[in-house]
Amino acid sequence: MNTCLGFDFGTRRIGVAIGRSLLGTASPLTPLAARDGIPSWSEIEALVDEWKPDAFVVGLPLNMDGSTSEMSLRATKFGKRLQGRFNKPYFMMDERLSSHEAKGYVIDQGGDRDFGRNSVDGIAAVLILESWFAQQAES
């Protein structure tokens, strides 16, 4: 997998990042609005056309004890829909604490605690994608 789109799934907003496995790094893109977890598929199609990813990586929001939740099931369903619509593989990546880490990153970079949610969603997607790249490099 060379180029991947990463997603931080949410019911109102979906964070997006683009990354390259060769470098193991990712950059945030503009988050997508969602209605009860359903994005504008035409916006995702535009991202796929622009970035031509080889695969998708979707954050898997597990409970702290590692068990699944309704959000885990919804995020997995989103990954399956990506694969079905664009005929590219998807991978789920444990995202526990990614939003917490993203908020810490925003504060560290001089942002205030009244988070512009857009930046946190994109950074969470970056953390998910970069964690997946690191995991792939280790195996």
In the chain the domains, ranked by start, together with CATH numbers, are: 3-138 (3.30.420.140)
Tell me what pLDDT residue 63 has: 82
- 59: closest CA among 71, 47, 48? 71
Cβ contacts of residue 65 below 8 Å, gap of 6+?
A: none
- 13: tokens are 């907003």
Please name which of 100, 95, 89, 38 lies closest in space to residue 68, comparing C-alpha atoms.
Answer: 95
Q: What is the mean pLDDT of each run of 10 residues along the chain (139 residues)?
A: 91 94 91 92 96 96 86 95 97 73 51 49 88 87
Q: What is the pTM of this model?
A: 0.84
Residue 105: Cβ within 10 Å count:
16
